[in-house]
A and B are shown apart, each in its own frame.
Chain A
Amino acid sequence: MSVSFPYTYYACSCADNTSTQEKRVSQEPQSAQDEDERTFDPRSRRSNFSLYPIEHLLYCTECHEMRCPRCVTEEVICWYCPNCLFEAPSSTIKQEGHRCSRNCFNCPICTSPLSVNSLEQPDPPPDDKPANKFGGPYILHCPYCAWSTLDIGITFPRPSNITGQLAKTLNGGLPRPPRDRKPSSSLKRSDPPTTHHLDDLPSPTSDTSTSSSPEPPSARTPDPQDRYHHLLAFYKHQLSTSDAALLPGTTSTSASELGPGSPSSIARLLHMYGSSIRSRAPESGPSPMREAATPEEGLLIYDAAAEAADDATIRAMQTTAWDTHASVSQRLDATNRHARAVDDLRPISPLLRTKRAKRCGACRQILAKPEGKVTSVRSKIKLLALQNLPKLSIKPLASPSTMPPPGTSAAGRPTSTLLTTFSSPTLALPALSPSSPFALRPLTTTHYLLTLTNPLYDSIRVHLAAPSALRGRHGAGSRVTILCPQFEVGANTDRRKKGERERVEKVRREEAFWTVLGVGRIVGL
């Protein structure tokens, strides 16, 4: 997005005809009247959602209107990991929680990518030679903030399949205790190879299981992941033992079929979360399924132990140092939302990103369609607002007093702004500093040049208007004077031939002068 100070945003009109707006209008006709008469106020809070730089806008050639990110519909073309740029197959996306299942990890402390380092010999990159001679334990290490999996006591014996190794290890280096493995003859399902943890699933300790004596419960309280797997296993078991019609596509109209406890809705739910279920053929009418009853089945109920754990957490927060606690952003990024201490954090698999095609929200015409390959940056279809709407650009009118003596002849162009304002010291932030020659100063008049570029092959007539006095927090008391409120911009004559640039220069260039008189406050940012 454009951020350099004098910028232009375009207001998309799609916000004016939403249904909520209409409803509100019907309730308050009086204010609606005002709304109609009022001109667009870029400073109102609602305008934030309809102002975009022109690069982000598309143009529907059917509706002859601009389309902003709010009024297009998007279709995902592919999912890919931003780190390894590999396309994720759409079948496994939900199962992996929209995260990369390859060897990509982000630092839970600072979000930068982690690298695999060997502790034996310095840094053999695992991607280069998977079975290389450098042995020893491996760690994930953050080269930015120096966090490593040693902080949570995890090392990896192999540099490959870190995801799998990490899933089997708890913080502290202990192996994740295998969930009670009870062979149940009634469960005959195929274990997908990608979900290795599913083969460790316990079968519910219900009366249907043909299990031996129950194993002693682990001292550890089950974490949410455990509970999820318990619940998943419970439902799967229920499904496989029930005589119901389990195919998700089966159409049935009985009331029990549609209820939340019916096998088909459970099957649909499980299907939604990506685990494949092999179902039996329907034999008779479905019987309603019971809910989980014990913690082994994934039931979470109030628990004195949990409260004690809460107390312990609160005590720890009172007594331990600030930096042992995860920050809010770290907790939001973490895959384990119950992590409170830094020690609870684990390496984060990066969330996948998408390439999306965009359609007009009104007429469904495709406005933008990138190529399917992840690394390709080309588009098959791209209907830009830039090519169909006049482009406005506003820039300060260079005056000898405000501009540093430019080393270039092109004073006043962005070129020169970039080339001539480098006198600030290295460490100064490059943002708009008060010393910037383009910042508005109180009680001084600043001239801006508004340039309109007409990409169309017809001439356009332009009327400019500005409020007599600016309102709002920033612009109170400032005035904008437009020196040339009406003009015409000639038709685009550039046929994209080389050597025609000079002629384009000669095409009638209309300029409007904006004079901003700042009184006490700086207008805008």
Chain B
Amino acid sequence: MSSRQSSSRSKAPKGEYIETDSGNKVSRKANISGTANITLGGRTVIMADVNLRGDLHRLPSSTDEPSAKPSSTSTHAISIGKHTVISPRCILHPPHRVHRGATQYYPLKIGDNVFVGPGCVVSAAAIASHVYVGEGSVLMPFCMIRENVRILPGSVVPPNMVVPPGSVVGGRPARVLGEVGEGWGVNVAGAGGAEMWVEGGDLRELVRSVK
């Protein structure tokens, strides 16, 4: 399902978004570097003024024996799952660290149905699925956000922090403040017109509404 972002785009003549074959919508105003190292899972929205730093990828280290493990030296930088929305002015910047005496950039992985609010800086190692990142948050390098997490607006998640599944975090530095309710992400369809999407739920309808 994953399509390279550089794959052929069906050129819509006027709209703000370019839609790829797998339904990804990428704003024309997004600043994307290193497209070859970015994977979008399909039906994912990249809004205006988003910076995707696909150029910060893993380098084949000189100390590594090149023939031994070709998989570890893949130049993958950013992968984003399905139905994920990256709001305007976000920056996705893969994290780097010194590992065994060599500095390396590491891939940034974002799961499905993740909403990243406007103006966030994401350097996390991984964001799992059904995560809601509030506006203006900073996810510092190598933090790991597990499933069903709500990050309150303006939080700074410190480096290396693991946010356990189903928790609410906030603050600077962020700490676990509570738990999301059992009904997190459950959108009950019913008579009377429910919202088309809820925080942490399936964002398919939100993606559909983006034009």
A/B touching: CB–CB < 8 A:
yes
Which A residues lie at the B interface, using CB under 8 A?
Answer: 1, 3, 52-58, 80, 82-85, 110-113, 115, 121-125, 128, 132, 134, 142-145, 353, 358, 368, 374-377, 379, 382, 384-387, 390-391, 393, 407-410, 413-415, 418-419, 422, 426, 429-431, 451-456, 459, 489-494, 496, 504-505, 507-510
Residue of A whose beta carbon sits closest to that of B49: A422
Q: Given that A111-B173, A353-B164, A451-B192 are known contacts, is A430 also in contact with B182, CB under 8 Å in the complex?
A: no
Between A121, A377, A426, the greatest number of chain B beta carbons within 10 A of the residue's beta carbon is seen for A377
Q: Taking the nearest CB of chain A, how far is it from the CB of B117, in angstroms?
A: 7
B191 and A508: CB pair below 8 A? Answer: yes
Q: How far is the CA of A214 from the CA of B162 in the complex (A)?
A: 49
Residue from B16, B98, B190 in contact with A123 in the complex, judged by beta carbons closer than 8 Å: B98
Q: Given that A83-B162, A410-B209 are known contacts, is A492 also in contact with B16, CB under 8 Å in the complex?
A: no
Q: How far is the CA of A73 from the CA of B186 in the complex (A)?
A: 23
B148 and A489: CB pair below 8 A? Answer: no
Q: Given that A122-B101, A123-B97 are known contacts, is A144 also in contact with B209, CB under 8 Å in the complex?
A: no
Residue of A whose beta carbon sits closest to that of B88: A422
B164 and A382: CB pair below 8 A? Answer: no
B34 within 8 A of A: no
Q: Taking the nearest CB of chain A, how far is it from the CB of B69, in angstroms?
A: 14
B160 within 8 A of A: yes
* 10 further interface pairs, Cβ-Cβ under 8 Å (given A112-B173, A415-B209, A508-B191): A56-B181, A82-B162, A377-B148, A408-B210, A430-B134, A430-B135, A492-B191, A507-B191, A507-B193, A508-B192
Which of B5-13, B51-59, B74-82, B194-202 lies at the interface? B194-202
Q: Given that A110-B173, A377-B147, A410-B209 are known contacts, is A143 also in contact with B159, CB under 8 Å in the complex?
A: yes
Which of B18-26, B35-43, B60-68, B150-158 lies at the interface? B150-158
A143 and B160: CB pair below 8 A? Answer: yes
Residue from A128, A407, A453 in contact with B190 in the complex, judged by beta carbons closer than 8 Å: A453
B159 and A144: CB pair below 8 A? Answer: yes
Q: How far is the CA of A410 from the CA of B210 in the complex (A)?
A: 9
B189 and A491: CB pair below 8 A? Answer: no
A55 and B16: CB pair below 8 A? Answer: no
Q: How far is the CA of A432 from the CA of B196 in the complex (A)?
A: 23
Q: Given that A408-B209, A426-B119 are known contacts, is A489 also in contact with B191, CB under 8 Å in the complex?
A: yes
Residue from A84, A134, A409, A422 in contact with B162 in the complex, judged by beta carbons closer than 8 Å: A84
Q: How far is the CA of A456 from the CA of B191 in the complex (A)?
A: 8
Q: How far is the CA of A22 from the CA of B90 in the complex (A)?
A: 54
B168 within 8 A of A: yes
A510 and B196: CB pair below 8 A? Answer: no
* Docked complex: B142-185 residues within 8 A CB-CB of A: 146-148, 152-154, 156, 158-168, 173, 175-176, 178, 180-184
